[in-house]
A and B are shown apart, each in its own frame.
Chain A
Amino acid sequence: MQVNEGFKPTIVAFCCNWCSYAGADLAGTNRLQYPADVKIIRVPCSCRVNPLFILRAFQRGADGVILCGCHPGDCHYTTGNYYARRRMTLLFSMLDYLGIERERTRVEWVSAAEGVKFAATMNDFVSTVTALGENKRLEDLRCKAN
């Protein structure tokens, strides 16, 4: 994979409280390495994430946005991630349709026991976004002024 010399992407990771946030915790306590450019935002459930949150993250300077939740079937609220799955599929497809690079968005299911998967997912996503470079097509210049 091509590497953009010197570019460190900002990644926003929405993680559900019950599985993925705990998975991130486990990755931390196990001293698993993943880039510090990943900013985690804890949400009660993956389906709490409104499409506006994803767009707002890009507006405020994210180069990539990833949503992590419990595996389908394991949602703490039983069905939240099923709804999130449909919403994100359609939203990502729309972003792609508008010409925004589709690799900047991702959904990954990470359980509380999958610290290793969490770190591996983040490493992979960060390198994908690093190769894409800075988010130019969905940026808000006013938020990048400083």
Chain B
Amino acid sequence: MQSQLIERAKALLADGTVDRVLGWKAGEFAYDMTPALFSSAQELDEGFAYDAFCGANLSKYLVKESRKGGRVLAFLKPCDTYSMNQLLKEHRILRENVYLIGVPCQGKTDVETLRALGITSITAARQEGEDLVVETLYGQRRIPLAEAMAERCKACKGKKHMIYDERIGEEGELENPDRFGQVAALEAMSSEERFAFWRGELSRCIRCNACRNVCPACTCEQCVFDNPASGVDNKAAATSFEENMFHIIRAFHVAGRCTDCGECSRVCPQRIPLHLLNRKFIKDINTFYGEYQAGEEAEGRTPLTAYTEGDVEPSVVYTKGGND
């Protein structure tokens, strides 16, 4: 697969379709695959990689790259194409300056997921059929891909690309995973239990802002979290209130636009399950305003920039009986 991508990128560079390539290359270790730009066949040969660790969603980089002149080639996995569409919908990417190649994906792993399975000192990993074969300093480990996959890939929306100029590999199928089971389980708890659960999670936040920085839905040039007058600017939370506030506002600002790509949970150094916040909004939007998948299309209104006269009243929340 990797060599196929490199060959195609070289051809497009050679015929002048694009003048640079956005892909992935290994960082310090084999498992920290990092987004990278390549501008020559030689650079591609030396650095370009596509493997089970290439989870990073490249679409957000195109916000800036598409404005630098010339034309850039980007490789997008199926889930990344939702982010791409959403960015196009918000007029954040200059479409004519990007060339998109849809690449197949069988699910990605990451070092934390492997660590949790007791696999450390990783030097390389490759997919072989339904298995992930991991080379470590202590020898080889073979695990079923289904187990090794990152959380978000277990809830994959499907292997179908929403947008591309060309595609490598067969067209994939949409899937219908259970994305809301964990949210429903939390909803079923009592208010006290939920409060305790979220205190346990959110109090670990170190406000590194990685979740915001990586999010393809967070592309405002001036973010509320950088505004000193907002009281929520870039600093470690001083109280539990600030922890809650950051997370409520972060999730709210992407409500209706979050494609559930899972990047925020992937990059969080504290392993905070941010997807449980985003998916709560997605679940509510589906229930209250009808099924909606952000990024399915590059046009149209998002749920929070639309309304119907018969929308439910907010009282649906505070008058519901039950678990207090």
Whether A142 pairs with B239 at a CB distance below 8 angstroms is: yes
B253 and chain A: residue at smallest CB distance: A51
Size of A's binding interface in residues, CB under 8 A: 39
Whether B186 pairs with A97 at a CB distance below 8 angstroms is: yes
With the chains together, A21 CA to B239 CA distance in Å?
34
B179 lies within 8 A of chain A by Cβ? no
Size of B's binding interface in residues, CB under 8 A: 50
A37 lies within 8 A of chain B by Cβ? no
On whether A101 and B252 interact (CB within 8 A), knowing A59-B241, A86-B311, A93-B317, the answer reads: no
Whether A101 pairs with B191 at a CB distance below 8 angstroms is: yes
**What chain B residues lie within 8 Å of A51 (beta carbons)?**
248-249, 252
**What chain B residues lie within 8 Å of A92 (beta carbons)?**
314, 317-318
A76 lies within 8 A of chain B by Cβ? no
Question: For window 137-173 of chain B, which residues contact chain A by CB distance below 8 Å?
Answer: none
Whether B313 pairs with A85 at a CB distance below 8 angstroms is: yes
**What chain A residues lie within 8 Å of B239 (beta carbons)?**
140-142
**What chain A residues lie within 8 Å of B197 (beta carbons)?**
99
**What chain B residues lie within 8 Å of A142 (beta carbons)?**
238-239
Judged by DSSP, the binding face of A is helix
Question: For window 15-67 of chain A, which residues contact chain B by CB distance below 8 Å?
Answer: 51-52, 55-56, 58-59
Whether A59 pairs with B245 at a CB distance below 8 angstroms is: yes
With the chains together, A142 CA to B305 CA distance in Å?
36
A88 lies within 8 A of chain B by Cβ? yes
With the chains together, A42 CA to B183 CA distance in Å?
36
Whether A91 pairs with B303 at a CB distance below 8 angstroms is: no
On whether A90 and B309 interact (CB within 8 A), knowing A101-B191, A105-B318, A140-B242, the answer reads: no
A112 lies within 8 A of chain B by Cβ? no
With the chains together, A83 CA to B255 CA distance in Å?
13
A21 CB, min distance to chain B CBs, angstroms? 19
A87 lies within 8 A of chain B by Cβ? yes
B76 CB, min distance to chain A CBs, angstroms? 29
Chain B residues at the A interface, C-beta cutoff of 8 Å: 183, 186-187, 191-199, 224, 230-232, 238-239, 241-242, 244-245, 248-249, 251-252, 255, 277, 280-281, 284-285, 288-289, 303-305, 307-309, 311-318, 320, 324
Told that A86-B307, A100-B244, A106-B314 touch, could you supply 12 new A-B pairs with CB distance under 8 A? A59-B241, A83-B307, A86-B304, A89-B316, A89-B317, A90-B285, A93-B284, A98-B194, A98-B198, A106-B318, A140-B241, A141-B239
Chain A residues at the B interface, C-beta cutoff of 8 Å: 51-52, 55-56, 58-59, 72-73, 79, 82-83, 85-103, 105-107, 137-142
Leading 4 A-B pairs by shortest Cβ distance: A99-B195, A82-B307, A99-B194, A140-B241
